[in-house]
Each structure stands twice: as C-alpha cells, then as structure tokens.
A and B are shown apart, each in its own frame.
Chain A
C-alpha cells in the first residue's frame, strides 16, 4: 500500500533541524547552568571559614568586554559568510576566536591568582566549591566553543567554508551566543550579587 502523492503545489516548509536541535541543546545546557547558579546562590554566605568573595574576587571587566564583543564579531562573521565575503568572514571569525581565547586566558590568570595568592581552592570552603564549579562549568563551555570555532577556522583557511555552509556555521554561532549570555548571568551572580 502506498500513499499517493498529490500535486506538490502547496508550499511545505518546516523549521531547520539544525536550529531546532541547537535550541534544544541550549535549553538542556541552560538547565544544567540553572542548577549550578541555584547552588551558588543558595550557598552564598554559608561558608564556615574564609576567604569570602568580597575579600578575594575582583571584577573581570576587561575579559567580560572581550567575551561579549565576540558575540558581535561572530554575528558579523556569519553575515559576511552569507554574503560571500570570505576574507571578511575569516577576519571576523579569527577575531572571535581571539577574543574567546583572551577571556579563557583571563579566567586562567584569575584562578592562578586565587589559588596561589589567596589560597582559595575548590576544597577550601563552600565558596571555593561553588565558585570554581560554576565558573569552571562556564569556562569548559567556552573551551568547547573555541574548539568548534577553531575547527571552522582551519576549514576556512583551507578554503573549505563557502556561503552554502552558512547554515551549520550559523548553528555553531548560536551556541557561542549562548555561552556569552550565560556569562552575563554568571557575572551578575558571582561578581555583582555574590560580592
């Protein structure tokens, strides 16, 4: 038995599976982050020993500006790719990669300062546990994003990324936007509310 097909006249469009898949993945990731944020907020001020956030945390303004600007550059990069400007695409994409790497390096330096100078590790107190977990979870997502960005960069330098690939590249950029948006939440929770 086969179902006969009638005239393919009526338009039939469905949402892009790449975008739907990425939005679902982002929803799942968002709820993982939510649990860590809730744990962070719940344990604020509950450490039985020092150091406290106010004593050791400094606002990471520069690295935050870098990460948030990378959302703009990746958006521009996707637009350039769509319009076929491959040189501009490579430049904007490379800049995104650079800004992300600066952020990650800044996080590394901050951790080094906290561990070496302030003596705060993940096992020092509740603040250390929740802080390194939440910021570390975000940093690991930045790392994952950077690996994805780097793969595209290598392919782009080899001339393999063309305008018809703007769909998948756009899906990857959604993930990067999400990583940036999460940082806004983490920044607010850890460095504004929590300090």
Chain B
C-alpha cells in the first residue's frame, strides 16, 4: 500500500507507471486528428512498408542474379513481384507523400490544421487498413481451395488472369479489396488537401503567393480525384465479375480484356505524375534555399505543373502499344506522351535557372536534389524513347521498361523524398540529421542505384522479358543481372545508414532551432517541432517568401512581386 502511494521510492510501481504513460501515448496517437501526428504516422507506416517492399525486391533480385536459380519457387516469385509493386506504389509512395503533404501544407499556408481533421484521420486509417488487408492475404488468401496465398497477378492484374478460372482462392480478392479500401482513403485525402489549400490560407496568401509546395500538392490532389477513381470503378467491376459472376472482363461472354487495361492505365499513368509532382514540390522548395535565390520562373512552374496534370490524363495507352491499337490511337498517344515531356523539361530548366549564379550549399538535402535532377532527366529520356510506338513494340514488356520506371521511382521520387527527409526532419523532430551519415547515405545509395538500374537497361535491350522466373545461360543476360543484384547490396547499406541516422539523430542529433536552413517559408516561423496549434498567432503574408521579408525589412520581396 505504501509503495503505491509513494511515487518514487517504490521500485515495484515504476513499470506500472511507465506502462500507463505508454498506453496514454498510444491512445493519444490512435485517436489523434492532428495533421502533424497523422503526417508522421503516414510517414512511419510508409517507411515500414518500404522495408517490406525492399525485402521483396531483394528476393526478386537474388532469384535473378544467376541463370537457372532456384532461390524461391516460381509461385513465390510471382507473389513477390506482385506484392513488391503493389506495396511500393500504394503503401509506400502514396502514404509517404501524403504524410509530407499532411504535415507541411497547413504549416506552409499558415493554417492550424487541415480543412477536415476527422476525415484526415479516417483517410489514414483506411490506407493503413488497406495495407494490413493486403498482407493478411499471406494468412487468409488460400481460402478453401489450397490455392496460392498472396496475390500473384502482377500489380496491374490484367484480365483474364484475374478471373475465377485462373485465380482461384481469395488472393486476388485481397488485392482488390485492399486497393479499394486504401482508394477511399486516398479520395478523402485528395478532397481534404484541395479544401485545405483553397479555403484555409492565412491572410494575404493569394494563390499567386502560395509556396510552390502548396500549389503542386493542389494539382496532385486535383489529379487524384480523377485518377484514383477509375481504379476504384475498375475494382468494383472486378469484384462484380468474381463474386456475382459478371462478365465485364469475361471474353467468353463478349467482355473485353483490353478494357481492363484501359481502365487500369487511365489510373496507372497519371498515378506516376501523382507521385512525381509532390517530389517536384520538394525540389522546388529545397533548391532555392540551398542556392540562396528565389525560385526561377514561379508562374511558369505553376503553369507547367497544371499542364502536366492536364496532359498526363491523356497519355495512358502508351502502356498498351503492343496490344494492337489502330494507327490513329497509336499516333495520338505518342503525341500526347511526347508533349508531356515539354512542361517537365521546363521545370528542369527552371531548377537549373534557380541554381545558376546561386551560392550553392552542398548539404544532404541539396545533394539528393541534384541526384534527383540528373536521374530524373535520364528517366524522362528513356520515357520519351518508350513513348514512341515503334520503339515500344521492340522493348515493351522487357527489362528496359523495368529499368525506365525504376529510374523514375527510385532515381526520381525516392531521391527527392530523401532530400525532403533531410530538409524537414529538423522541423518534425527538433533535431538535425547527421550530416556525415547523410553524405555516406547519399554516395552509397547513389552507387547502388546506378549499379542496379543503369545496367538493368542492357538485358532489356538484349531481349530479356520482365517477370520471368529465371533464364537460360549464354544469352548475355547473366553478367548484367549479377551487377544489378550487387547494386541491391549497396542500396540496402544506404537504407540502413539512413534508418540508423533517423533513429540516432532523434536522440543524439544537434538541436535544430526553429530555422536551421535560413529558409523563407512559413513552416520555419514556428517552433521545431511545432506546437499543436502550429502558430500562436496566425501569420499574415505579403509575398511568396514571408520570412525573407521579416529578416530583410530593408529589402522585402513584396516590393518587387
């Protein structure tokens, strides 16, 4: 009794108290509607699935390292590439970008929270539930048939492979339902971001004075409303086919397998831009701060983003040249695909223009941005190559395609994300990430990335199809596959350095202060990490760089904008 009443003396009550604190913290995070906490939860959730998806990629690469390998069975191999693709797109890339958008958008537009905080929590939990459901298929997917456990139909799940005759058991249903669930979460997030950006801006922040990050997330969210929903519709149709014996994609009853491809890629191609536009946003915030110059061509950046958003909605069938479309359709999709490269090129020139004559600081955020810039350029160039129908007839469905889109997603999106981690980690935790470890992370991961994905183009050119389980020796593919697999080891080492840095710096990192980078946007005007209310007094802005105005009252931006 006495030990319970005395808070410090009794050693026996300490675990109980610690447990209560732990439970209270857990409870607080579970019921939170705060945009910052939800943002961090999105990011943590995505990092967990990044590791899971990375393990699946490693299994794929080990299996392909040498000819005639039997590291895993063909069935497991199919599950691995399906789960890898689905996980990385829906449960890594989208959540981590939503996490950053959630965390940063209200801060950067001077708001206290998102427009609909409870919808925000709902969206996060739907996404989280979707991911858990997908992975529950490893336990529950085989149903009563003794069929395969996890989905193995590929991340685009072409018909008629998804029909009941070819996909027995429930694994394909887990895939469908998990994407449907997380899709509802995504629609909620998109609605929320648009409403936040249009209706929650602080005084004086007209659309022309918004940070580019807010603008680009506005375009991204607007695109999501029109791109994730075709996937939702197609998934509903697939469920009608599988559960109610419908005939949407049943070729025996006059249904069409090609229309699934259309519906999937009407979602699937704009999705790539949904992922890359927030990364453009990170680069557009980081490059000016580390070049000590305002962004070059702000209105053109906004216009180019809107143009990308519009044009990218009409390029989807460049994924389908090989199914035999008419020459008019081919010509149309070649032209739109090449056209979408123009606004993207404009952006690259604007970032170069921002750096031109600037005083560049080579800190990790800037290094990752530079890596992004070069790699994304190459990814764009191979994209132009594959966007031409005749070239694609040769290389469609080959490892060249795999190398191309991993160049976009790893070389572009992941590098920009790392830049964002190094740049905003001080704001989120109050401590700096370690600089030396950051540079090690950059170089080791850069080497690994180029070993894997530069050399992956070559077996594609030599005719190696994607998704094959193994291959014959003597085709000239083996050496390149071996190099690609060796690159994975470097990438894993880079990720381990990064994760160690995240954890180590949280406890031991240098205290950051409110504004460690001498930056110009509103999130750096509040404390690190920000209080629950974000701003004690809601700010008012007069230019695109409110903190510059504050720091340089003799030469404020609003005199010139």
Tell me the A residues contacting B by CB distance below 8 Å: 1-6, 8, 10, 12, 14-17, 20-21, 24-25, 27-29, 31-32, 34-36, 39, 42-43, 46-49, 122-123, 125-126, 129-130, 133, 137
**Is there contact, CB below 8 Å, between A47 and B254?**
yes
User: A29 vs B192: C-alpha distance in the bound complex, in angstroms?
Assistant: 15
Among candidates B244, B255, B514, B536, residue contacting A43 with C-beta atoms closer than 8 Å: B255
| CB of B458, distance to nearest CB on chain A (Å) | 39
Number of A-B contacts (CB under 8 A): 141
Known: A3-B546, A5-B538, A28-B226. A133 touches B254 (CB 8 A): no
Q: Is the CB of B245 within 8 A of A122?
A: yes
Give 11 A-B pairs besides A2-B536, A35-B234 with Cβ atoms closer than 8 angstroms: A3-B110, A3-B535, A10-B203, A17-B115, A28-B187, A28-B190, A35-B229, A49-B253, A122-B245, A123-B245, A126-B255
* Cross-chain contact of A1 among B228, B259, B525 (Cβ < 8 A): B525
Which residues between 218 and 259 of chain B lie within 8 Å of chain A, taking CB atoms? 221-222, 225-226, 228-230, 232-234, 236-237, 240-241, 244-248, 253-256, 259
Are B195 and A21 touching (Cβ within 8 A)? yes
Task: Collect the chain B residues with CB atoms within 8 Å of residue A36's CB.
Answer: 233, 237
**In the bound complex, how far is the Cα of B194 from the Cα of A64, in angstroms?**
33
Collect the chain A residues with CB atoms within 8 Å of residue B191's CB: 21, 24-25, 28
A123 touches B195 (CB 8 A): no
Counting contact residues on chain B (CB < 8 A from A), the size range is: 35 or more
CB of B88 within 8 Å of the partner chain? no
Q: How far is the CA of A28 from the CA of B229 in the complex (A)?
A: 6
Between A and B, 6 residue pairs with Cβ closer than 8 Å are A3-B537, A3-B550, A12-B204, A17-B195, A35-B230, A129-B246
Asked whether A123 and B246 contact (CB < 8 A) given A3-B540, A8-B203, the answer is yes
Give the distance to chain A from B241, nearest Cβ to Cβ, in Å. Answer: 8
For B194, the chain A residues whose CB sits under 8 A away are: 20-21, 24
B116 at the interface (CB under 8 A from A): yes
Contact check, A130 vs B540: say whether CB atoms are below 8 A apart.
no
A39 touches B247 (CB 8 A): no
Task: Judge whether B539 is part of the interface by a CB distance below 8 angstroms.
Answer: yes
The answer to whether the Cβ of B198 comes within 8 Å of any Cβ in the partner chain is yes
Contact partners of B237 in chain A: CB under 8 A: 36, 39, 133
How long is the Cα–Cα vector from A17 to B244 in the complex, in angstroms?
39
List of 6 A-B pairs having minimum Cβ-Cβ separation, nearest first: A3-B539, A123-B245, A35-B233, A17-B199, A129-B246, A17-B115
- Of all chain A residues, the one with the shortest Cβ separation from B536 is A2
Contacts A1-B525, A5-B539, A47-B254 given: A31-B226 contact, CB under 8 Å?
yes
Please report the C-alpha to C-alpha distance between residue A47 and residue B254 in the assembled complex, in whole angstroms: 6
Q: Is B515 an interface residue (CB 8 A)?
A: yes
- B116's partner among A4, A6, A12, A21 (CB-CB below 8 A) is A21
How many whole Å from B325's CB to the nearest CB in chain A?
15
Q: What A residues does B522 contact at CB under 8 A? A: 3
Q: Please report the C-alpha to C-alpha distance between residue A168 and residue B246 in the assembled complex, in whole angstroms.
A: 39
Residues of chain B contacted by A32 (CB below 8 angstroms)? 229-230, 232-233
Cβ-neighbour of A20 out of B199, B232, B240, B259 (below 8 A): B199
Q: Does B37 contact A (CB under 8 A)?
A: no
B residues less than 8 Å from A28 (CB atoms): 187, 190-191, 225-226, 228-229
Does B195 lie within 8 Å of A20, measured CB to CB? yes
- Shortest distance in angstroms between A8's beta carbon and chain B's nearest beta carbon? 7
Q: Is the beta-carbon distance between B229 and A123 smaller than 8 angstroms?
A: no
Nearest chain B CB to A27 CB, angstrom units: 5
Identify A21's interface contact among B115, B254, B541, CB under 8 A.
B115
